[in-house]
Structure 1
Amino acid sequence: MTSRTTTPDAVHAALSGVSFPAGKDELAAGAERNGADGATVEALRAVPATDYESEADVLAAVDTRDESDEETEQLRHQRRTEHTHDGLSEATKDVDPVNPIEEELGTNRKK
């Protein structure tokens, strides 16, 4: 399953050469002509059916994310899969475990 999110830079590149006002079908066709990735094309197809006056209007309607959001999601996934306490909720698993020795001394000297 592909994601319906994309980056603002990908949308900008995908809409290069598209004349406005444009409908969502014209936006998706322009993105395909420009060789946009599947997630960007899908995100453009998912926007509401209306005429968009500018690229800024399209960006406001498209579900975009920053690259930092992706990194943060990867870190959250890593913390959830490497948790040390069974039976805790997902929100609790996102918190890094605190070692009392490291917290007090700054390092764990028993290794």
Structure 2
Amino acid sequence: MATTVERLRTALSEADFPADKSQLLRQAEHAEADGATLKALRAIPPVVYSNLTEVKQSVSFDAGPDASEEAARRRLHDKPGLAQREKDVPGHPIADELGENRGS
């Protein structure tokens, strides 16, 4: 699991800029940042950062579930009252091939 912008901001709220990677890591450890935030900071390039915006541009953030995970979750229909049209279900293969109105 990757870190979030809010956790990074909290970890580096007391950091003095400009700061290099090692200074940012020390500040995050001093602020008792979680493991994912420390791991993300260890992965940034070893350059001098002039502000938090530059740090955020170098850090990988949690993007949330990808489209395939979201579609699989929606197909399970685990919430009562969820309309059928809200589920990702494939169409009927014959109706997809021949169309809805086949003249019968």
Aligned structure 1 segments of 4 or more residues deviating by more than 6 angstroms: none
Unaligned runs of 5+ in 2: 76-87, 93-99
**Larger gyration radius, structure 1 or structure 2:** 2
Within-5 A mapping of 1:70-85? 70=64, 72-73=65-66, 76=69, 79=72
Paired with 1:16 and 1:24, the residues of 2 have a C-alpha distance of 15
The residue that corresponds to 2:57 in the other structure is 60
- Residue equivalent to 1:98: 90
Q: Provide the alpha-carbon RMSD of the alignment.
A: 2.9
Query: Please, which of 24, 28, 39 is the counterpart of residue 27 of structure 1?
Result: 24
Structure 2 length as normaliser, TM-score? 0.65
Secondary structure of the residue that 2:49 maps to in structure 1? coil
Give, in whole Å, the separation in 1 of the partners of 2:67 and 2:13: 31
2:39 is matched with 42
Shift of 1:79: 2.1
Q: Measured at CA, do residues 63 and 79 of structure 1 come closer, stay the same or move farther in structure 2, by a change above 3 Å?
A: same
Determine the C-alpha separation between the residues in 2 that align with 1:99 and 1:60: 42
SS in 2 for 1:16: coil
Equivalenced residue count is 82
Query: TM-score if structure 1 supplies the norm length?
Result: 0.61
Gaps of 5+ in 1: 83-95, 105-111
**Percent identity (aligned):** 35
Distance 2:90 2:70 in 1: 19
